[in-house]
Structure 1
């Protein structure tokens, strides 16, 4: 019988058969051959495998001819041929199993036969499965047999690998121990490579069919690829192109996501079923898991395609953010975060955490992914006007070359960076160091108008915990940013990266963008609460030294580096110890007329956190200075100009100090008497008579602070002097020149607070009352304001007033053209009924609204606001402090370092004499007023010229300090 088989092998026709009898004969031959293989006739294995090889080639040709034929008379022939194919595949499975039991090594001829046999069997399987829909009569049986062959091929490769000693030198460049060993290695490598390549092609075929009946082939193919790539202890890395396999898996993962994005973009705005979402995402997760496994085994090859890998992860991250923006797609966003995002992120994590990649390579990945945004020239006008205009399917149309310029990926990059920070406990130290050098990128990208608006209002799903204890919750992006950065601070504190993190925090201590500054301050506060006390004290001492240096050249009552530095230090001190706050108070606020005193108290120095003894001293100092200043107001209600601080150049420092201290110190009503009301009238008179811009500005600021003090002292509203204050305010704000007065605008916040507290006094609801009319007119003024910030202040003030006043005719306080009563839809004004209903809704919303759900219009406003902030910050960063009103930098061809030049001795001495003479003249003017009340006209003229002289000397002093 065996002789017959061998003859059939040599005489097997190369061309396809012309009748059914040939197929039946060949089927019988293969059936018998299968039995011989299973009986383990090792001496005849070569001939049997050669028979199988020729049969596979013959069947491959026959398959093509059969599928091309459309003659119905050929159906019987086709049926017998398909049974022949099944018999051949069963023979192949038996042959591969026999080889796995006894791997053929050392026989060159037999090894060549084995390689050809495996190649042809896998080719036939691939051709058969690609046409499985057209041979449906044996489809299910074909799939079962094909899986047997594939499983046998995978086990054969594993058996060959185990039979080799991979620990010995096997590299072609290093030389083999002997030629037989070399031949064995080449043989094992060839069959393993052939099997991997065919499994990849089968995996692509099964994926193209969408899984379905081929899902088992899909699983076996890619799992087999991963298994075989793990053989040989990495020796296959030089033989198999793992990078191409990773690219194939990434492409397979992107395709269903692209299709889903396209379908969900064009679908009706109805919630997508969870089952549909999972059906889409689970295959993607399968492809990514296999890509992760291959990347972890071959990180150097994976690095060759790092741009494609990171783009895939970035697109998935962006997709999740985009889904969370749409209400009907929020469920899909949640499933993506639970099912897909962890695996996709692990793909990037595998590269960054690989011990085989150098630190330079890791930095190259992050540098490409998070490149500096400051030099971006992207135009945003169209995107702002049509926000949001991007459809979901556009996300998966981005090519690697366009990754850095694609605006649609911006939020995804932010989310991806935050994930890196949150996962830092699982990263190696060199990777943490690389990430620490990219922290500045995060602040740069937060300035982007779209990112800015999303950070403020967008809610995203976030996973908490690990393993089975993981939970998902919706969280605003802003807390997510803080949580990620704090996590990274903790991790980096015990590594070499801490130096980079500390530099990052110090360099951005005075960041010009308020959102970035808030983030930096929150991180510093976190540091203050949890760092070692010695470290904290050292940082605070250095910051205070810098503040003292700034106080010698920066103004205390205009936006400046001094004010911002003071604000930042005050913020940090709220998280410090009591002893630290006492120490800083003694060091910086001992002089109640210094620039530091003014700046720190105005920026909220935490006086309430001082020790009891220091708190008493601080309170007494503030009140004493306040009494002295207010009592210097003469009977004609004129403010004493000599009370201006000689060092700060500011009128009324004690007023600012008391105003700032009211929110944190316990100051009783008995400490503030009606002299405050008289002083307020004096300020109003002083403002109306002031001619210089500088003095008008001083008076306005004083009035604002004084109104704030009065609003906190409810007992003052019961005094008789309050009516005069109200009437004076009416004249000031409602007068003919008030509309064109640019300085009065800064007083309106204080006016709103003052008006709110009028609910604590009795108001006559009669037309003839001058006081009532003044109150109505002042409320009319506030409620007409159109700016959103003033609208909020006015409505809040009126709401407080309405809830406490005994007045019944509240409509008198509301003008017909109140901002809140304006009908946006019709473009016309409405009556007081509409105002009151809107007021009720406004106040209820203020109390009840816990989660903000922004509408498109609100997002557009935030984006426009973000763009304006970005432009301002860009000017500051590009042109220096001059763009923000601070000291200018010297420019001569290129920006140079600022150099302080010492002024000639004569100028310095002259300035000292001028300041000394000014103080003597001020004291003399005070004495003159106290002793001579009958020469007020001359005194007024002298005071006017004296004030101008003060301005000139103050200006000269500023020039001298800046020189």
Structure 2
């Protein structure tokens, strides 16, 4: 039972404790102090100050010292009251002293664990450790409730006690696995300690801010005492942040048991950084804090990736979230800190970039593995937008200069390409090692996959509405980098074949969608166009679209046209009309008879682009284009433009009803007039005109224009027979090229008019086709090759006619021989067309002896991987698969063979693109050289003859290697891997030698 005691009795009790050396007696007397009722604040302070002197600082030799210290802490805890206000100094002093001692004792205990150790002593010490942490927490709680900023003595003690308490907390958490008996209680108390420490520093910072604000308001100079208090607070906050970072790092490595500590420490760091900057402008080491968080995020990603790379079963959503939620937590705190200190954060923008690239690259790698699908979805949901916010916090800050923002974009989208020279696969076996192979000292030293950069650029463009105008301008200038990367042979296959999860919708209703990288990129570019259209970046976007209107690489051209089509759909009418008028003027300027039949000519490419744009516009746009190209009546230019447009897919169905009717009437009447007055002599007498323009126009318009059977009658078959007669009569004549073009177009027309197959003239046509293609001179082979595509279309329609299946019928024999010829073709495109035509024929014909149509050496009978022997059973098997559509791709993930085919295609396209660009550069260089030479004196400088000769030898060697690679590709499959390696390096070698040749040719 407690009893009130006088000051004299209290003094005698303290002196009695001091006079005894026996620990047990001192413990009893100290415990007796706790049973006294002491009300005076000065008496309480006196007792606690005495307890500080009773604390023995030397190393604990046995359990009795722990018992003594435990009694001291228990008595001090009993006297600790929030109402003590300024009387807390001795309590804080005792807490700091106890923390230092416990820290030493803990280290000694851990070091001697493997040796003989009294179990009772350990148990007693761990209990004491918990009591000390609890006592210090209570001291900070009382101090927060009654702070005293102006007490210098208290401020010194507070700072010392705070740091020592955090040091003890750190050491306790470091050894949490070894002190299992009280581990859960230690974690709970540590959480409370950190919470109150953060609250204490926050309150002190705000008090310091009020002091400064009052001084500024009163326009007076702060006295030395006030300035000293603010310095105390600044140092305390700075040191506290450092300790919290250390605790947060420990908690991150502590697994799930320290999640609460992880949360409270890093939230405390952000809170103090925010308060410290706003109140006192404390110079925190922000860069190191960000690097610590980035390091923790990277390590979490690495652990997840390495663990999953060894598994083959699917990763559950719960497991994926356990791995990625901590990463998001770290990055969210980085974003908060970067928003507060953008300039400081810019100094570590390379590390931020590296982290974002690792996330994007890991996402790509997981999308490549089917069992990691769910994990990639969780990553997209949790980390995609968060990784973007890393940059948005800097790119949107007014404190960061435009030059610094552009530097971040340069770091994100450099020209580095990731190439694994030890593997032909798009993904190497140890892709995880490649993703996380950055050196800890130079974190940005690794060249990461370009696909990761592409995903980041796409994500940045999708979120461009949230970034500033100057950054949009910087993004626009990276579109050229994007096209440079897309043509690379390692990127091209993945762009077309790989699907990735993307998060669309609002924050309240997000929707996860799987789409190809190509589709995602197109969507991002369209989003960026909308945002850029109302900013200063639009001028450069428009220039980019115009500069790449005829990009030599098909993938880049497809992207550009998709963006132009997007503009046609949604731009204002006057903008659309202006674009169309200018393009039509360009079409007219390049129109020529020679170019209309060259697929890659400027005329055809321009017509192709216009046709695509018109298909995305309104009826008025289609009418505008058609009126422009037909405004010249029957002029040569009008005919050339019309043929080019229709050949490139210009659909007459897009025209208004009235204009479509006029077009149909004009096309059919011109066609009737042409075939009615056709004479074989016209082929040689009119070389300057586009002979057969009405025929070409009708053929190209059939897919989009409904032509009645009455409009195309038996005169077409007569015309076809006349054309065949002309081709047979003079196969090597100069005019035969025109003749063959007319033949091909007429065959295509007949294939679309099934009623013509029942006409009387069809037998004559079939016999003449046999005479031309089967019994022709060998010299005509190459020229006839161009007609085989249309011949296949024509042969498909023969299923509509009746014929006898006997050898004595010439028509049947002719059809068999023609199909034999087509099915023997080994070019992959012709093989596909031939088998498709035969399938169409077989499904409709009344013939039963279909084996008569198939030669023994049909292309589909060969299996090149096993040898060159034809096998009839294999033909029937492959033909059955073709008809039943069993070869359709059902899987989302492309197989290795498909990726290799795309890779080869990418190499071919890359070489073609480089040659095209080199031609343009060469033309520009010659123009520049001519101008320079005009201003030079007659004296010229030449490279030595030996260099020119050496370059010629290199070019000869390059051609020899190219020929060898072409032959090698036909070899057995086992050597294809080495062939592909040669092809990669050959592409680079060709660039170097071409550049050397250009230098050597300059006088």
Give the TM-score of the pair, scaled to structure 2.
Answer: 0.82
Deviations 1:542-580 (A, max 9, x none): 222222333379833222222211211122122333333
The 5-angstrom pairing of residues 315-330 of structure 1 reads 315-330=358-373
Counterpart in the other structure of 2:80: 37
* 1:271 equivalent in alignment to 2:314: yes
Distance 1:553 1:796 in 2: 33
Q: For the residues of structure 2 that align with 1:295 and 1:789, how far apart are their CA atoms?
A: 56
Determine helix, strand or coil for the equivalent of 1:272: coil
For residues 303 and 604 of structure 2, what CA distance do their matches in structure 1 show? 54
Q: Is residue 684–residue 735 contact of structure 2 (8 Å, CA) maintained in 1?
A: no
Question: For the residues of structure 2 that align with 1:628 and 1:612, how far apart are their CA atoms?
Answer: 24
What residue number does 1:526 align with? Answer: 566
| Deviation for aligned residue 1:770 | 1.8
Question: Separation in 1 of the partners of 2:414 and 2:586?
Answer: 32
Contact 2:500 2:517 in 1 (8 A): yes
The aligned counterpart of 1:310 is 353
Contact 1:732/1:738 (<8 A) preserved: no
Deviation readout 1:32-83 (Å, 9 max, x if unpaired): 2233332543444333322322222222222222222255353333332222
Task: Provide the C-alpha distance between the structure 2 equivalents of 1:816 and 1:524, rounded to a whole number of angstroms.
Answer: 50
Aligned counterpart in structure 2 of residue 63 of structure 1, from 106, 112, 116: 106
CA contact (8 A) 1:726 1:771 kept: yes
User: Partner residue of 2:810?
Assistant: 770
Return the alpha-carbon distance in structure 2 between the equivalents of residues 871 and 402 of structure 1. 35
Partner residue, 1:865: 905
Deviation at 1:460, TM superposition (A): 1.8
Which stretch shows the higher mean deviation, 257-266 or 3-12?
A: 3-12
Q: CA deviation at 1:638?
A: 5.2
What residue is the counterpart of 1:396 in the other structure? 436
Deviation at 1:890, TM superposition (A): 6.2
Shift of 1:122: 0.8
Please identify, of 407-416 and 239-248, the stretch whose mean Cα deviation from structure 2 is larger.
407-416
CA shift at 1:220, angstroms?
1.6
Cα 1:692–1:898, aligned 2, differ >3 Å: closer, same or farther?
farther
Cα distance change on mapping 1:87 and 1:614 into 2, 3 Å: closer
> 1:168-190, CA deviations, whole angstroms, 9 ceiling, x for partnerless residues?
4999xx99633233222211111
Q: Call closer, same or farther: CA 1:428–1:662 in 2, change over 3 Å.
A: same
Q: Does 1:232 align with 2:276?
A: yes
Match in the other structure for 2:244: 199
Unaligned runs of 5+ in 2: 1-9, 11-44, 935-1003
Does the aligned pair in 1 maintain the 2:426–2:490 contact within 8 Å? no
Q: CA deviation at 1:493?
A: 2.2
Using the TM superposition, give the Cα deviation of residue 279 of structure 1 relative to its aligned residue in structure 2, in angstroms.
2.0
Out of 296, 316, 328, the position equivalent to 1:285 is: 328
Equivalent of 1:815 in 836, 851, 855: 855
Instruction: Determine which of 913, 916, 926 is the counterpart of 1:891.
Output: 926
Deviation at 1:434, TM superposition (A): 2.7
2:183 is the counterpart of 1:139: yes
Report which stretch shifted further, 461-470 or 217-226.
461-470
**TM-score, structure 1 length as denominator?**
0.85
8 A contact 2:751–2:793 mirrored in 1: yes
Residue 188 (str. 1) matches residue 223 (str. 2): no
CA distance in 2: counterparts of 1:129 and 1:799, whole angstroms: 75
Q: Does 1:54 align with 2:94?
A: no
| Aligned-partner Cα distance in 2 for 1:405–1:518 | 34
Once residues 518 and 58 of structure 1 are traced to their aligned partners in structure 2, the CA distance between those partners, rounded to angstroms, is: 73
1:256-301 CA distance string (max 9 Å, x none) = 221222222232x322233322222222222222222222222222
- 1:488 Cα shift? 1.8
- Where do 1:785-800 residues align within 5 Å? 785-800=825-840
Q: SS where residue 419 of structure 1 aligns? A: helix
2:609 is matched with 568
Is the counterpart of residue 78 in structure 1 residue 122 in structure 2? yes
Match of 2:506 in 1: 466
Q: Decide whether aligned partners of structure 1 residues 853 and 39 sit closer, same or farther in structure 2, where only a CA change above 3 A counts.
A: closer
CA displacement, residues 607-654 of structure 1 (integer Å, 9 cap, x when unaligned): 3323344334333433343334333444xx5553234444xxx44323
1:596 and 2:634 aligned: no
Residue of structure 2 equivalent to 1:844: 884
Aligned pairs for 1:748-759 within 5 A = 748-759=788-799
Q: CA deviation at 1:30?
A: 2.4
Shift of residue 311, structure 1, vs aligned partner: 1.6
Contact 1:638–1:682 (8 Å) recurs in 2: no
Q: How far does residue 831 in structure 1 lie from its aligned partner after superposition?
A: 4.9
Pair 799,581 (structure 1): closer, same or farther in 2 beyond 3 Å = same
CA–CA distance in 2 between the matches of 1:36 and 1:859?
Answer: 76
Equivalent residue number for residue 629 of structure 1: 674
CA contact (8 A) 2:699 2:746 kept: yes
Describe the SS at the equivalent of 1:264. helix
Secondary structure (helix, strand or coil) at the match of 2:500 reads strand
Q: 1:112 to 1:692 in 2, by over 3 A?
A: farther
SS of the aligned residue for 1:474 comes to strand
- Farther-moved stretch of structure 1 (254-263 vs 422-431): 422-431
**CA distance 1:405–1:133, shift in 2 (3 Å):** closer
CA distance in 2, matches of 1:852, 1:130: 47
Q: Does the residue aligned with 2:807 lie in a helix, a strand or coil?
A: coil
C-alpha separation between the residues in 1 aligned to 2:445 and 2:735? Answer: 51
Output one character per residue of 1:806-838: Cα deviation in whole Å (capped at 9) or x when no partner.
Answer: 111111112223233334664465654543342
| Superposition deviation, residue 235 in structure 1 | 5.8
TM superposition shift of 1:154? 1.0
CA contact (8 A) 1:645 1:652 kept: no
Which secondary structure state, in structure 2, belongs to the residue aligned with residue 461 of structure 1?
Answer: strand
Match of 2:522 among 482, 491, 511: 482
Residue equivalent to 2:266:
222
Cα RMSD of the aligned pairs, angstroms, is: 3.1
Q: Which residue of 2 aligns with 1:741?
A: 781
**One of 186, 190, 194 as aligned partner of 1:150:** 194
Q: For the Cα contact (< 8 Å) 2:315–2:375, is it kept in 1?
A: yes
Q: Confirm or deny: 8 A CA contact 1:632 1:639 kept in the other structure.
A: no
Q: Could you list the per-position Cα deviations for residues 150-204 of structure 1 after superposition, in whole angstroms to 9, with x for gaps in the alignment?
A: 1110110121122122674999xx9963323322221111111222111111111
Change (3 A) 1:17 1:640: closer
SS at match of 1:816: coil
Distance, in Å, in 1 between the alignment partners of 2:931 and 2:201 is 68
Taking a change above 3 Å as real, the CA distance of residues 26 and 379 of structure 1, as seen in their structure-2 partners, is: closer
CA distance in 2, matches of 1:711, 1:181: 98
Distance 1:896 1:352, change over 3 A: farther
Residues 846, 125 of structure 1: CA spacing in aligned structure 2 closer, same or farther, 3 A cutoff? same
Q: Secondary structure at the match of 2:436?
A: helix
Query: Paired residue for 1:345?
Result: 388
Higher mean alpha-carbon deviation, 276-285 vs 598-607, is at 598-607
What CA distance in whole angstroms lies between the structure 2 residues aligned with 1:461 and 1:602? 38
Contact 1:639 1:683 (C-alpha < 8 Å) held by counterparts: no
What does 1:827-842 align with in structure 2 at a 5 Å threshold?
827=867, 829=869, 831-842=871-882
**Matched residues in 2 for 1:881 and 1:803: separation?**
53
Aligned to 2:575: 535
Q: Which range moved further: 222-231 or 27-36?
A: 27-36
Task: Select the residue among 423, 426, 431 that pairs with 2:463.
Answer: 423
Q: Is 1:709 equivalent to 2:749 in the alignment? A: yes
What are the superposed Cα offsets for residues 364-384 of structure 1, whole Å, 9 maximum, x if unpaired? 2112212347xx6x7677544
Partner of 1:919: none
Partner in structure 1 of residue 954 of structure 2 = none
Count of paired positions: 882
Q: CA deviation at 1:312?
A: 1.0
Contact 1:687 1:695 in 2 (8 A): no
Give the distance between the partners of 1:895 and 1:610, measured in 2 at CA: 49
- What SS does the corresponding residue of 2:503 show, helix, strand or coil? strand
Q: 1:765 to 1:468 in 2, by over 3 A?
A: same
Contact 1:170 1:182 in 2 (8 A): no
Query: Equivalents in 1 of 2:428, 2:618: separation in Å?
Result: 47
The Cα shift of 1:8 comes to: 4.7
Q: 1:640 to 1:147 in 2, by over 3 A?
A: closer
More displaced 10-residue stretch of structure 1: 562-571 or 136-145: 136-145
* Counterpart contact for 1:734–1:778, Cα < 8 Å: yes
- Counterpart in 2 of 1:160? 204
How far is 1:747 from its partner? 1.7
